Amino acid sequence: MKSVAFLLLLFSPLMGSVNAQIGSRQTGVLNATQIQSLFPATVYFSGQMTTVQLRNAGGVRWSEGKQTLFGMVDSGGYSTGMRERYQFYILTDVPIDIAGKRLAAGAYGAGFLTDRGFEVMDLGGTEIFHTGVQHDTGMQRPRPLQVTGVENAHYRLYLGRDYVEFFAVNR
């Protein structure tokens, strides 16, 4: 009996860490701590490195344990035209559908443009696609960038009150 109690005491800290890891692997919208542990502080886009504003980042963990992350960037070193287009960075481990457009797993630059809607670019700054955005007048306290859940593993990426819906695509 003493040996069983000893083994329980010995392994109980390990069980707690396993439970904590399982709990931190839940699917859905990631919290600020999870984002900060996953998103790199600097990213490469169009020949330059730039910092990510981690306070303005969001993301989702999918059922496979993979993530899709979005983070606003400091685009001060880019030309005026590129700064207008390159507002945030996308990192995705899985293919996703954004407003009806398929995006393969990878890293991308993106932005919400006044005249063109939502634009996604490859790492060289070349447009991959653009699509329309929706406006949410009921959004309470809009933030520069945030991710919210909708339903059935569908999510919204907001920049202010403008948004696009996205979900993981079955491979």
Q: What is the pLDDT of residues 98-138, one digit of tens each?
A: 999 999 999 999 999 988 899 999 999 999 999 999 999 99
Range of the domain at 139: 27-168
Rounded CA separation 57/106 (Å):
17
Considering its fold, how many domains does the chain have in total?
A: 1
pLDDT band at 24 (very low <50, low <70, confident <90, very high): low
Rounded CA separation 58/74 (Å):
16
> Is 114 or 4 the better-scoring residue by pLDDT?
114
Residues of the chain above pLDDT 70, percent: 85
Question: Does any domain span residue 13?
Answer: no
Question: Does any domain span residue 3?
Answer: no
Name the pTM for this structure. Answer: 0.83
Question: Does any domain span residue 7?
Answer: no
Question: Does any domain span residue 114?
Answer: yes
Mean pLDDT, residues 154-158:
97
> Is 52 or 24 the better-scoring residue by pLDDT?
52
Rounded CA separation 48/137 (Å):
36
Question: Does any domain span residue 16?
Answer: no
Question: Does any domain span residue 15?
Answer: no
Q: Examine the pLDDT at 14 and tell me if it is beyond 80.
A: no
